Amino acid sequence: MTTKNVGGIDRAARIIVGVGILGAGLYFGSWLGLIGLIPLGTGLFSFCGLYTLLGINTCPLKTK
């Protein structure tokens, strides 16, 4: 299992943007709409590979 590195607001924004890009692609009949799968997938799985490479983590810290 991968560690989550995408937090709540970031996750919601990615899902909304991803659905918007997919919708625009469908509306305009363009294959470029498939680019929306990237932010949608990273939002749904709460993991971004680019964040890992850059050392970014927007997920809140777990308190014990």
**Could you identify the residue written with the tokens 């909304």?**
16
pLDDT attached to residue 1 = 60
Q: Domain map of the chain by residue range?
A: 13-52
State the Cα angle at 22 between 18 and 27, rounded to 5°: 145
Q: What mean pLDDT comes out for the span 56-63?
A: 80
Could you report the per-residue pLDDT of 2-57, keeping only the tens digit for each?
Answer: 789 999 999 999 999 999 999 999 999 999 999 999 999 999 999 999 999 999 99
pLDDT attached to residue 39 = 97
pLDDT attached to residue 13 = 97
Asked whether the predicted pLDDT for residue 63 surpasses 60, the reply is: no
Q: Which of 35, 9, 8 is nearest to 22 (CA)?
A: 35
How far apart (Å, rounded) are the C-alpha atoms in residues 27 and 11?
Answer: 24
pLDDT attached to residue 48 = 95
